[in-house]
Amino acid sequence: MAHSLTEENYLKALFNTANKAGEVNVAELSKTLEIKMPTVTSMMKKLADKKLVHYESYKPPRLTEKGRREAGLIIRKHRLTEMFLVDKMKLGWEDVHDIAEQIEHIQSPVFFEKMDEMLDFPKLDPHGSPIPDRNGKVVLKDYTKLSDCREGEKVKLAAVINSSSDFLKFLNTYELRLGTKIKIRSIETFDKSMKVSYGKARAETLSNLVCERLLVEKE
Amino acid sequence: MAHSLTEENYLKALFNTANKAGEVNVAELSKTLEIKMPTVTSMMKKLADKKLVHYESYKPPRLTEKGRREAGLIIRKHRLTEMFLVDKMKLGWEDVHDIAEQIEHIQSPVFFEKMDEMLDFPKLDPHGSPIPDRNGKVVLKDYTKLSDCREGEKVKLAAVINSSSDFLKFLNTYELRLGTKIKIRSIETFDKSMKVSYGKARAETLSNLVCERLLVEKE
DNA sequence: TGAAAAAGTTAGACAAATCTAACAATTAAA
DNA sequence: TTTAATTGTTAGATTTGTCTAACTTTTTCA
């Protein structure tokens, strides 16, 4: 019934890198997991035997309903943990991913229920990603990339994409956090960099690379 | 440098079941780990290669200084976690062992430093066992088994031996907790059971099996 | 003190998860 | 539309940690 740590990591990767159709290339899985393709292929067969993925030779694997649920529950544990580490243990949002990556594999329903309760049943993790519910289901918000906004718009930072420690430390030094209200002053047509104002920063320039990683809500 | 989960479990077992000379039989390790003797033998060789145990054929293995330190640090993580689960997460002392058994393998110094800080640097875990220091060193208290006390003595419950969930639940129903002051009214010579009083219980009978698992401090 | 019991080791097999090398299918491009 | 590149699979080896069966050493005790 329970899955190995390895299997759990494949389930997570399938969940996180799936396209709208729920499919992922073996090549992409291989890349994100840093595991060679033949190994991924053989694990897909194993997970197919366990009814966790749909798999046919030469076609992109896809989580089954069951697999998506299991994956969602692991991600739920990951995100609850991140929230706990930030809110209760006062760690920075740039420091919690690696710890959560380990704690998400803890087998103890009561442990995570206690966390959930202590956090008053949060819906979002510290990076703005939705925490799947008790059935592993996620409700996706329709945020916009800052890079897709227009001059003059006023938006609120709602989530970050690909929350690597380095990127989050960069945001820290710029005093950009979730909830920060941003006004787009101007957009440089050449490199799509944006001149924005927020908080004390009255005319900060953000590169397109940064803007593409920031998800915002329009006012 | 880091050890596998499996190796960590052997180190812990070596630490926990060592006699005064620091030695453990292969047979006993086999029993406590629930792993067959040949497997234990081969792991002893592996740990000897890593300079974590002293090992010679047909002699009882013994942790090296390095091995004892590493083992102590794992047990430190275990006991800090138990304390955290009881104090901060409000789990019962009978529910924390299995969770701590998993969390003790988390690789993240900062995570456990935060715990330690939040708990205000505790010296004992929720079962009265000493928490090893940052170097993996334990300071042993010289408690007495309740079963070794004499009629008329007044003692205080300081720790429990072999803290299985069932035993701890038993203590819960008897309202026996760490710190409880106990007076020994009489000892039955036939079965060594004790009639004791403590708290609201004025004449409770405790079997020798129970008394042997309770460590007390004399007033 | 010598036979029986207990403890420990060796040898060889197995499962899980990984890899590389070689081959096959699919997709993209000239 | 044929070829080249990409993607995916098969086959077989490797590592880690486990097992059983058979053998050896040490300990116990009659």
**What DSSP designation does A130 have?**
B
Q: How far apart are CA B169 and CA B5, in angstroms?
A: 29
Q: Which of A115, A23, A13, A24 is nearest to A71 (CA)?
A: A13
Task: From chain A, pick out residues whose CB is under 8 angstroms from the CB of B88.
Answer: 88
Residue with tokens 């957009």: A187
pTM, two decimals, is: 0.94
Q: Which residue has the tokens 């380095």?
A: A166
Q: Which residues of chain B have a Cβ shorter than 8 Å from any chain A Cβ? A: 85, 88-91, 95, 98-99, 102-103, 105-108, 110-111, 114-115, 118
Closest nt to residue A27, judged CA to C1': D7
Tokens read off for B181: 């002051």
Report how far residue B81's alpha carbon sits from residue B144's, in angstroms, rounded to the nearest whole number: 26
**CB < 8 Å & 24+ apart, contacts of B137-140:** B137/B69, B137/B72, B138/B72, B138/B75
User: What are the strands, taking DSSP E only, across chain B?
Assistant: 53-54, 62-63, 144-145, 154-160, 181-187, 194-198, 201-206, 214-218
Nearest protein residue to nucleotide D25 (CA to C1' distance) is B58
Tokens of A58: 């030469």
Q: Residues A217, A159: contact at Cβ < 8 Å? A: no
pLDDT of residue A1: 75
What pLDDT was estimated at residue A2?
85
In chain B, residues with a C-beta closer than 8 Å to the C-beta of A103 are: 103, 106
Residue B83: which H helix or E strand, with range? helix B65-87
Residues B49, B131: Cα–Cα separation, whole Å: 28
Question: Which stretches within A50-108 are classed as H helix?
Answer: 65-87, 97-103
**Helix/strand/coil percentages in chain B, nearest 5:** 40, 20, 40
pLDDT value, residue A55: 97
Q: Is the CB of B61 under 7 A from strand C?
A: no
Cα separation of B176 and B125, whole Å? 16
Q: For residue A23, which phi and psi values (nearest 5 degrees)?
A: -100, 150
From the Cβ of A4, is strand C under 7 Å away? yes
**Shortest CA distance to B119 belongs to which of B158, B159, B77, B75?**
B77
User: Which long-range CB contacts under 8 A does A174-181 form with residues at least 24 apart?
Assistant: A174/A201, A174/A204, A175/A199, A175/A200, A175/A201, A176/A214, A178/A126, A178/A127, A178/A128, A180/A156, A181/A154, A181/A155, A181/A156, A181/A157
Contact list in B for residue A85 (CB cut-off 8 A) is 111
Residue for token pair 């229920």: A113
* Contacts (Cβ under 8 Å, ≥6 apart) of A202: none
pLDDT at residue A40 in the model = 98
Nearest by CB: A102 against B85, B106, B118 = B106
Burial class (CB in 10 A: 0-12, 13-18, 19+), B154: middle
Burial label for A120, CB within 10 Å (0-12, 13-18, 19+), is exposed
Beta strands B154-160; B214-218: pairing state: antiparallel
In whole angstroms, what is the distance from residue A62 CA to residue A23 CA? 5
Please write the tens of the pLDDT for every residue from B28-59. 999 999 999 999 999 999 999 999 999 999 99
Tokens of A193: 């960099």
Confirm if A86 and B71 have CB atoms less than 8 A apart.
Answer: no
| pLDDT score for B219 | 74
**CA of A107 vs chain B CAs: smallest distance (Å):** 8
Strand C reaches within 7 A of the B157 CB: no
Count of CB atoms situated within 10 Å of the CB of B150:
7
CA A126 to centroid of chain Cα atoms: 10
Residues of chain B with pLDDT under 50: none
**Helix pair A5-17, A37-49: axis angle to 10 deg:** 100
| Sequence-separated (6 or more) residues with CB below 8 Å from residue B87 | B119, B126
A2, exposed or middle or buried, with CB in 10 Å at 0-12, 13-18, 19+?
A: exposed
| Weakly modelled stretches of chain A, pLDDT under 70 | none
